[in-house]
Amino acid sequence: MHWRIPATLGLLTGLMAPAALAGDFDLPPDVGLGPMDVADTATDPEAEAPPARSDTLVLEGRFTRAEPRRGDAQQSFRLSAQWMGSAALGRDLALRFNLRGRATRTAGESFVFDEDVRFDVQELALNWQARPGLSFDLGRVNLRNGVAQGFNPTDWFKADSLVTSDSADPGDRRLERLGTLMIAGQSSLWADLLSFGYRPRITASGYDALAGHDVYGLNLDRTNPSEAVFLKYAPATGDNINLTASLLVEDGNPGAGLEISGAIGQHLVLYAEMFSQKRLSLAAAGMPGGSAGLRDDLGADEGRGWRHQAALGGTWALPETIVGARDISVSLEYHYNGAGLSARQLQALAGAAGADLGQAGALRGFAATRQEPLAREQIFTRVAWNDLWNDADLSLIGFYVPADHSGLVQISAAFPLNDNAEISLRASRSFGDDTSAYGANPSRTTAQVVYRYTF
């Protein structure tokens, strides 16, 4: 369970700390020597040097059973080892890493080493503390932007980045993705924070080691498909409100974003996240063919234009007067994706027939790869119950598209066995017509059992 939203104001506002606005709020707290960590020692010449190495090794076994919309159920087992942390290379220089090896065995299929074994470099970057208040990262960096939980319009580099897709929870997926090769920096301007960076475009073939080479391919063609420059500014706004403004230029196409969050009273946090960019719609970018009628209905031949995205929501930590000492929170969000399909366009996509069926599937797959809602509007909710029994946690999330009454529900539970071992359970189900936004998912239901041991 990666998202814990406690029922106290101090920890609620932790969701909105400057580190979160810088894009690193959901990293494990004991992993890595990020810019903030190194800066603390760099300001004091008498401070102790950072430890030579701080790392964590996680071994995991995961059994999955998936029932597709058509056909027989599929079962698989994956064994993985993930090593993450940092190593000091000097007083002002550190190496941050997140490496994972995994092997998958699917029932009824032969095990092929080149296809079923992977080594993933999720993050590998140098961090240099140039001076107090100024640091740089160079390498594969997992930049995570945004304050919302179900959809992050300002999280620019999430497209085609997933290593695995075990969970439908965007909070989990932010941890299960490949970083982007970039040079990035952070600078403190008194109490304000300025972040900036450059992502180069990398072209590589499917058999190149920089791309999807067997076993150890870096997939840089996926994480660096375009050239991009970004700038983020988080001014000091007080204790209860946090604000971040951002600019992105991707292959010459500009975009601008805004994130704002604030605490109201003792139990409520409201937040909003918006991004506008000159870009193609999902239909124009993700449907290469199709009949003239379908393309016209979906606007697939439209050029680049300003398209807007937004996530508006809040999290309410239920007070003790309602739930006693229980730690329960409820989140609700409205998502708008101007690059997605309207109700009329979703109906046109659902009516695709013949040769257009393949194009409809390509569009749905493209939206999933981009990690953007296919529908123009959807609702997201999360219910989290922490420490419901001893240290066990329970989480329920749901997506719902009003235009076609489709959606997805996922429930997860984690049960610590001791300080190192944990068993977790997860189940999800999509609902709606087979041609709807969520009902067309290849898997109707999934169930997972995970054993995780952390050293």
Task: Compute the distance between CA of residue 176 and CA of residue 455 in angstroms, rounded to an integer.
Answer: 19
Determine the pLDDT at residue 223. 96
| Residue 308 pLDDT exceeds 50 | yes
Determine the pLDDT at residue 321. 79
pLDDT tens per residue, range 382-428: 999 998 888 899 999 999 999 999 999 999 999 999 999 999 999 99
Determine the pLDDT at residue 205. 83
| Residue 116 pLDDT exceeds 60 | yes
Determine the pLDDT at residue 51. 67
DSSP symbols for 103-133: EEEETTS---HHHHEEEEEEEEEEEEEEETT
Tokens representing 299?
């606007």
Task: Compute the distance between CA of residue 108 and CA of residue 110 in angstroms, rounded to an integer.
Answer: 7
pLDDT tens per residue, range 237-246: 877 899 999 9
The pLDDT confidence band at residue 218, using thresholds 50, 70 and 90, is: very high
The share of the chain scoring above pLDDT 90, in percent, equals 81
> How many residues in the chain?
455
Task: Compute the distance between CA of residue 208 and CA of residue 90 in angstroms, rounded to an integer.
Answer: 33
Determine the pLDDT at residue 255. 98
pLDDT tens per residue, range 11-59: 344 444 443 333 433 333 333 333 333 333 334 444 455 568 899 999 9
Query: Smallest Cα–Cα separation from 398: which of 453, 333, 354?
Result: 333
Burial class from Cβ neighbours inside 10 Å (0-12, 13-18, 19+) for residue 207 reads: exposed
Mean pLDDT of 98-103: 98
Three-class SS of 274-291:
EEEEEECCHHHHHCCCCC
The pLDDT confidence band at residue 5, using thresholds 50, 70 and 90, is: very low
Angle 103-105-111 from CA coordinates, rounded to 5°: 90
Determine the pLDDT at residue 307. 98
The share of the chain scoring above pLDDT 70, in percent, equals 89
Mean pLDDT of 339-351: 97
Tokens representing 173?
């997926």
pLDDT tens per residue, range 247-281: 999 999 999 999 999 999 989 999 999 999 999 99
Determine the pLDDT at residue 369. 96
H-helix segments, 351-400: 356-370
Specify which residues 138 forms β-bridges with: 126, 183
Tokens representing 105?
């065995």
The pLDDT confidence band at residue 344, using thresholds 50, 70 and 90, is: very high
For residue 302, the one-letter residue type is E
pLDDT tens per residue, range 65-86: 999 988 899 999 999 999 999 9
User: Which range among 41-55, 96-110, 192-206, 366-380 shows the weakest confidence by mean pLDDT?
Assistant: 41-55
CA dihedral (343, 280, 180, 261) in degrees, to 10, reads -50
Mean pLDDT of 306-316: 98
Mean pLDDT of 119-145: 97
Q: Residues 83, 85, 89, 93: is their CA dihedral positive or negative?
A: positive
Query: Which residues does 422 contact at the CB level (< 8 Å), separation at least 6?
Result: 414, 415, 416, 451, 452, 453, 454
